[in-house]
Chain A
Amino acid sequence: MASLVGAFAASHGPLIVREWDAVPQNEKSRMSTAFRELGRRLSAAQPDVLIVVSPDHWSNFFLDNYPAVCIGVGGENEGPPEPWMKAFPHRTIAGHPGLAMHLAREAMRQGFEPALSHRLKLDHGICIPLWRMELERLPKIVPLLLNSIEPPMPSLRRCFEWGGLLRKSIESYAEPLRVAILATGGLSHSIGEPTMGTILEDFDRETIRLFNRPHDELVHFLEAKLPASGNGSEEVRNWLVAHGAAGGRGFELVDYLPVPKVIVGCGFASWRV
């Protein structure tokens, strides 16, 4: 049977690439160290497949049809479409249709009902962390695109439940695959709003603290605070999926630092699975 061998999270703000040269050296160094540490831990877990939980930043979906959750079930997906991601070293990225379809079937069976796509563009949300983690070998990637961009979004509780569903589904997959989960995005930031540029360090630190408390406390806090904490902060939903997969047992914070040049409270975490 397959097993869950790791769950991780990392921020993915575009300015981590576009404004990298302008980031102060000490912040650059801490971010690089944190990304590499996640890469080291991920590699040590030797995953055959990595499920990456990220929003679609209008790369695949539009108002015509914007799914709450979409699983990429194709054998191959495309690299990032953003012109400023041209240097990302993979133009196509292998998927794992077997596991992805199993996840989709199990989800349907449990009443979760995701959308499916046989070919996705994997935008910066997925590819910046993969790039910055400096992985020697890219595992097969199963994208799970979770809407944290266009309201209304899946509830925080449902995101946590998605994590539990993923774990059960992984563990019921017949092939002996090693599977890891990477949640990307967050922590606090604001995009295209009057508050753009604001990082809420207190909110971030409390969120981080509560990831090590019973998940009801975390969800309750986020339900109250998230609506006024910047639209980019909604991406913490992806972290909740990883948290749910890890059984809500809490994570080790690899690092957290607010980085004004990339306008994101940058967080890096590794769960106890």
Chain B
Amino acid sequence: MRDYWLSKLFFDLQSPALAAEFRAERDKVLARYPLDERVKQALAENDAPFLAARTNAYLLRYYFFTLGMKDEEFIRRLNHG
């Protein structure tokens, strides 16, 4: 299953300018995307398994890389939530 707007957010965050804005004013950026409340919650909680079920795995990895999360932590979250 693909959540289009979640995927679009991750795709757009490949832009360094948007990524910087997202890190500084996350809610402002999120407001531009019609995301489900449960998806917003998963983003807030870095709930990798929930997000993984709704987007492409490469986009998910880019997103957590953009957040500055180390791969070890990302893999731990993918496996254990």
Give the secondary structure class of A's interface. Answer: loop
Task: State whether A196 touches B75 (Cβ < 8 A).
Answer: yes
Task: Determine the residue in chain B with the shortest Cβ distance to A57.
Answer: B58
Known contacts A58-B56, A63-B7, A149-B56; decide if A192 and B14 are in contact (CB<8 Å). Answer: no
Known contacts A62-B8, A83-B16; decide if A192 and B57 are in contact (CB<8 Å). Answer: yes
Chain B positions within 8 Å of A83 at CB level: 16
A89 CB–B CB distance under 8 Å:
no
A114 CB–B CB distance under 8 Å:
no
A191 CB–B CB distance under 8 Å:
yes
Task: Determine the residue in chain A with the shortest Cβ distance to B77.
Answer: A194
A171 CB–B CB distance under 8 Å:
no
B33 CB–A CB distance under 8 Å:
no
Query: Which residue from B4, B59, B62, B71 sits with its C-beta under 8 Å from A196?
Result: B71
B78 CB–A CB distance under 8 Å:
yes
Task: State whether B71 touches A197 (Cβ < 8 A).
Answer: yes
Chain B positions within 8 Å of A63 at CB level: 2, 4, 7-8, 11
Query: Which residue from A58, A149, A192, A197 sits with its C-beta under 8 Å from B11?
Result: A58
Contact with A along B31-71 (1 / 0, CB 8 A): 00000000000000000000010001111111000000001
Contact with B along A131-155 (1 / 0, CB 8 A): 0000000000000000001100000
Known contacts A63-B2, A63-B4, A63-B7; decide if A196 and B56 are in contact (CB<8 Å). Answer: no
Chain A positions within 8 Å of B14 at CB level: 58-59, 81-82
Known pairs A63-B8, A82-B14, A196-B74. 7 more at Cβ < 8 A? A62-B11, A81-B14, A191-B58, A191-B61, A192-B52, A192-B60, A194-B75
The CA of A192 and the CA of B14, in the complex, are separated in Å by: 15
Task: State whether B58 touches A196 (Cβ < 8 A).
Answer: no
Name the residue in A83, A192, A196, A231 with the highest tally of chain B Cβ atoms < 10 Å from its Cβ: A192
Task: State whether B58 touches A192 (Cβ < 8 A).
Answer: yes
Task: State whether B58 touches A149 (Cβ < 8 A).
Answer: yes
Contact sample, A vs B, 16 pairs, CB 8 Å cutoff:
A58-B11, A58-B14, A59-B14, A62-B11, A63-B7, A63-B11, A191-B57, A191-B58, A192-B52, A192-B61, A194-B78, A194-B79, A196-B75, A196-B78, A231-B57, A231-B58
A216 CB–B CB distance under 8 Å:
no
Contact with A along B7-38 (1 / 0, CB 8 A): 11001001010000000000000000000000
State how many angstroms separate the Cβ of B54 from the closest Cβ of chain A: 12
A252 CB–B CB distance under 8 Å:
no
Query: Which residue from A81, A197, A231 sits with its C-beta under 8 Å from B75?
Result: A197
Chain A positions within 8 Å of B60 at CB level: 192
Chain B positions within 8 Å of A194 at CB level: 75, 78-79
A206 CB–B CB distance under 8 Å:
no
